[in-house]
Structure 1
Amino acid sequence: MTGHILTVAQQKGGSGKTTLTAHVASGFLNGIVQGLPKGLRVAILDVDPQGSLGTWYEARERKLGEETTGITLRTASGWGARREAKALARDHDFVIIDTPPKTDVDARPAIDAAELVLVPVQPTPVDLWATGQTFQMAKREDTPAFLILNRVPPRAALTVDVEEAIRAQGLERLAPMLGNRTGFAASMGEGLTVFETDPRGKAAAEAASLMQAIAALLGPKGD
C-alpha cells in the first residue's frame, strides 16, 4: 500500500502554508478525522529553502523528545521533492509537502507528486488575484487543487468582492475556513498545533472541520 501525498502550495508569500502543513499533519496523527484511527504514520516534506517547517519540527523535538514527535521530517529541493515524496509514501499513510512561494522550480515537482493540492489564501481580492498561478500550475500537472481561506477576521462574512474574485477565477474552495486566531501561531511556536495545545478551542474546531473536508476528497490508496 502507498500513502496519500498532499501538497500545500501558494505562489504568494505570507499565506500560512507552513501552519497549514503542520496542522494537516498533526490532524492525521491525532485522529481528528472521523473514521480514521489515531496514530497514523505521517511524514512532512519541507521543500521551502526558508526552512520554516523544519524550524517548527525542531521545536517539536525539544518539546516532545526526538523519538516521540510522531511525525517524520525530510527535506528536498527541485525534482528531488517528487522522488522523496514517493519514497515516503511507501511507508507512511500521509505525506504533506510544504512548498516555497514565488518559484515553479520546487513547487512543480511537489504538485506533480501529489493527489491533492491545498492552496491557502487570505480573504482579500488582492491575495486571490495572486493565487491563479498556483491553480494553473496544478492544472498543468493534472492535480486537483482547492482554495482554503485562511486568517479570516472574526465574525466577518466573506465580502461580495471576495466571492466575485473566487468565481471570476473559477477556483474551487473548501467550505471550512480558518480564522485569524492567535492560537495557531502560538501553538506553532511551541512545535505543536492547536489540536495539541487547545483541542477544545475554537481554532481546533475550525481546523477539525477543515480536516474532515480534506479527508472527504481522498479515496482509498492502493499499490
Structure 2
Amino acid sequence: MSGHVITVAQQKGGSGKTTIALNLAVAFHRRGLTVALLDTDPQGSLGRWFMTRVESGEDPGMEFSTASAWGVSYECDKLKRQADVVLVDTPPKVDADLRPALRASDLVLVPVATSQVDVWATESVLDLAGREGRETLVVLNRARPGTRIAIEVAQTIADLGVARAQTILGNRVVYAEALGQGKGVLERGKGAWAPEIEALADEVLAAAGAG
C-alpha cells in the first residue's frame, strides 16, 4: 500500500508553508508514521531545517528529498512506496510548474495568514487545484482568534465554499524558534501550540484519507 501525498501550496510568500509542513511531519512521526519530506522550493528552507536537524546528531526521524517542479511526480512515486505520508513544500507562486505537485497529491493544504491580501492570493491556488480535481483544505495561520480581521478572513474563506480546517494556528514566536533549531514545536515541550498542531494533524490525516 502506497503512502499519502500532502502538498502545501500558496501563491503569497510568508504564509507559513514550510512551518506547517515541518510541524506536521514531526507530529506524524511522533505518532509512529513513516514520513518523507520533498522540497520543491528553490529557496530550500525545508532542506535547511532538515540539515539543521541532522547536524544535531539525532536521528531526524524522516526522509528528505528535493525535486524540480517537473521531477515531483517521480519523487512522489518513489517516496510514497517508502513512507506513510509524503509532505511536499512548494514555491510561493502559482503557475504551470505547480501542476505536477498538485497532480501527485491526495490533499492540497493552503495556508492563509490573516490578511485580506492572503485571501486574494489563495483564490488562484484553489482554482488550479480544482482544475486538477484535487481536494483542498485551507488552514488559517498566524491568527489572533476573535479579532475582527480573523473573523473577516474566516468569513471570506467560507464564502468561497472551500473546506477549512477547524484548527487555527496562533501567531506564536515558538514556531520560528523551533524552525531555526531544526525542531517542530511539539519537541519544544507543552504549550498552547501543542494541541493546535495535534488537532491540525488529525484533520489533515482525515482529509487526506490517511486517518
Common fold: TM-score over 0.5: yes
Residue 98 of structure 1 is matched in structure 2 by: 89
- Structure 2 gaps of 5+ residues are none
SS at match of 1:64: coil
Letter in 2 for 1:133: S
Residue 12 of structure 2 is matched in structure 1 by: 12
How large is the Cα RMSD of the aligned pairs?
Answer: 1.7
CA offset digits 1:97-148 (Å, max 9, x no partner): 0000124243211111000000001122221011000001111111100100
- Listed as ranges, the matches of 1:146-157 within 5 Å are 146-153=137-144, 156=147
Mark the CA change 1:63 to 1:162 in structure 2 (over 3 Å): closer, same or farther. Answer: same
Q: TM-score, normalised by structure 1?
A: 0.89
2:43 counterpart of 1:50: yes
Separation in 1, partners of 2:145, 2:127? 31
Q: Which has the larger displacement, 185-194 or 104-113?
A: 104-113
Separation in 2, partners of 1:210, 1:30? 14
SS at match of 2:92: coil
Residue 3 of structure 1 is matched in structure 2 by: 3
Separation in 1, partners of 2:108, 2:145? 26
Query: Does the CA-based 8 Å contact 1:152-1:179 persist in structure 2?
Result: yes
2:106 counterpart of 1:109: no
Separation in 2, partners of 1:174, 1:141? 21
- Structure 1 residue runs of 4 or more that deviate by more than 4 Å after TM superposition: 157-160
Query: Does the CA-based 8 Å contact 2:126-2:136 persist in structure 1?
Result: yes
Letter in 1 for 2:201: M
Separation in 2, partners of 1:188, 1:159? 24
Letter in 1 for 2:157: I
- Structure 1 gaps of 5+ residues are 32-37
Query: Does the CA-based 8 Å contact 1:100-1:106 persist in structure 2?
Result: no
Separation in 1, partners of 2:91, 2:159? 26
Question: What is the aligned length?
Answer: 211
Separation in 2, partners of 1:44, 1:126? 28
| Aligned mate of 1:173, from 129, 151, 164 | 164
User: Identity of counterpart residues, as a percentage?
Assistant: 43
Separation in 2, partners of 1:119, 1:160? 18
Separation in 2, partners of 1:178, 1:159? 11
Mark the CA change 1:201 to 1:142 in structure 2 (over 3 Å): closer, same or farther. Answer: same
Residue 204 of structure 1 is matched in structure 2 by: 194
Mark the CA change 1:60 to 1:4 in structure 2 (over 3 Å): closer, same or farther. Answer: same
